[in-house]
């Protein structure tokens, strides 16, 4: 009985120590996680590939979990991520995608974190380019790069090119051709947008000419016609036209083209023509 009593006392005592030390052990582990993140980022890709033997996929998964933990920890602690940490994070994603190039999650993570949070657009795009090579049938990757060019880098033409690339991949959303033309339009090149949409319709016979696309095509044709007229006006008159009406009065266009969205055409000093509707149907 005495022995049993002593055993119970020891058991309770030791378990109390375990409970008491729990938080301290957690802190020790936190330091380890932080160190792990940096260390893995610094390991050369070739060494990682060689040391993973036949477990590259599982290794990539574990490293991705490590990257998720790092971001999760930052979000929980609400602490600012330093540029050096973002660089390590980029290296980690780069290593993961070297181990398993077809793994989609690191690319999605690169877009979510590197582009949106860290403003590391070039690094995000580099990883996504790597993904395009490994997953040529995935429309999401060129779409993300297109979006980065359009939204973050204000490079509308490049953006439209990537969206065009995404739209050409089977399974991409049917509104992509329309979106690409819209991006190109905002890139001050109505003609490019028009050509892109026409080419897309010819190349992708499976795209049904919906009324929305038809409307977009008519609008782009109108904008391109007016831009061409404004360009001709400047060449012949030696000065820029001040309004759409001036182009009509001087005979550069026979009549003002229809704006199918219900807005008013606007001629900008740089020769670009857009509409007050922004190509969104105006509710009357």
The site for another protein (CB under 8 A) is made up of 49-50, 53-58, 60-61, 64-65, 68, 100, 102-105, 108-109
Residue 108 and residue 144: Cα distance in Å, rounded? 9
Q: Are 274 and 255 in contact (CB under 8 A)?
A: no
Q: What is the smallest separation between the CB atom of 93 and another protein, expressed in angstroms?
A: 13
3-state DSSP assignment of residue 78: coil
Task: Please identify, using beta-carbon distances, which residue of 101 and 174 lies nearer to another protein.
Answer: 101
Which of 194, 204, 112, 126 shows the shortest CA–CA distance to 166?
A: 204
Q: What is the smallest separation between the CB atom of 67 and another protein, expressed in angstroms?
A: 11
Residue 185 CA to its chain's centroid (Å): 19
Q: What is the smallest separation between the CB atom of 165 and another protein, expressed in angstroms?
A: 21
Residue 194 CA to its chain's centroid (Å): 24
Task: Please identify, using beta-carbon distances, which residue of 51 and 119 lies nearer to another protein.
Answer: 51
Residue 182 and residue 156: Cα distance in Å, rounded? 9
Let me know the angle formed at the C-alpha of 243 by 239 and 244, rounded to the nearest 5 degrees: 115
Q: Are 127 and 117 in contact (CB under 8 A)?
A: no
Angle between helices 2-42 and 83-99 (to 10 degrees): 90
Q: What is the enclosing helix (H) or strand (E) of 273?
A: strand 273-275
Task: Please identify, using beta-carbon distances, which residue of 89 and 103 lies nearer to another protein.
Answer: 103
Residue 213 and residue 204: Cα distance in Å, rounded? 13
Count CA within 13 A, CB hemisphere, residue 280: 3
Task: Please identify, using beta-carbon distances, which residue of 107 and 162 lies nearer to another protein.
Answer: 107
Which of 172, 185, 184 shows the shortest CA–CA distance to 141?
A: 172
- Pairing assessment for the beta strands 265-267 and 273-275 based on DSSP bridges: antiparallel
Task: Please identify, using beta-carbon distances, which residue of 104 and 232 lies nearer to another protein.
Answer: 104
Task: Please identify, using beta-carbon distances, which residue of 103 and 265 lies nearer to another protein.
Answer: 103
Task: Please identify, using beta-carbon distances, which residue of 143 and 233 lies nearer to another protein.
Answer: 143
Task: Please identify, using beta-carbon distances, which residue of 51 and 237 lies nearer to another protein.
Answer: 51
φ/ψ of residue 278, rounded to 5: 55, 30
Q: What is the smallest separation between the CB atom of 104 and another protein, expressed in angstroms?
A: 5
């Amino acid at each position: 009985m005495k022995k049993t009593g002593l055993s119970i006392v020891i058991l309770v005592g030791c378990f109390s120590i375990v409970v008491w030390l729990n938080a301290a052990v957690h802190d020790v582990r936190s330091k380890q996680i932080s160190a792990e993140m940096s260390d893995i980022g610094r390991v050369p890709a070739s060494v990682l590939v060689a040391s993973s033997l036949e477990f590259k996929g599982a290794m990539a998964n574990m490293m991705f979990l490590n990257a998720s933990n790092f971001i999760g920890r930052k979000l929980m602690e609400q602490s600012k991520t330093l540029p050096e940490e973002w660089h390590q994070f980029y290296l980690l994603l780069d290593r993961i995608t070297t181990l398993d190039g077809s793994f989609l999650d690191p690319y999605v993570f690169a877009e979510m974190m590197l582009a949106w949070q860290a403003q590391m657009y070039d690094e995000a795009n580099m990883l996504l380019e790597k993904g395009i090579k490994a997953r040529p049938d995935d429309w999401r990757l060129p779409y993300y790069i297109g979006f980065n060019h359009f939204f973050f880098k204000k490079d509308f033409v490049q953006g439209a090119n990537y969206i065009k690339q995404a739209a050409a991949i089977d399974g991409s959303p049917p509104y992509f051709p329309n979106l690409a033309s819209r991006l190109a339009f905002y890139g001050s090149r109505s003609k490019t947008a028009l050509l892109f949409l026409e080419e897309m319709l010819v190349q992708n016979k499976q795209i049904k000419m919906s009324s929305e696309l038809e409307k977009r095509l008519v609008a782009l044709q109108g904008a391109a016609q007016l831009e061409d007229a404004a360009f001709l006006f400047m060449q012949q008159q030696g000065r820029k036209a001040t309004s759409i009406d001036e182009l009509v009065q001087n005979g550069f266009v026979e009549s003002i083209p229809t704006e199918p969205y219900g807005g008013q055409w606007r001629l900008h000093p740089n020769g670009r023509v857009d509409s007050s509707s922004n190509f969104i149907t105006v509710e009357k």
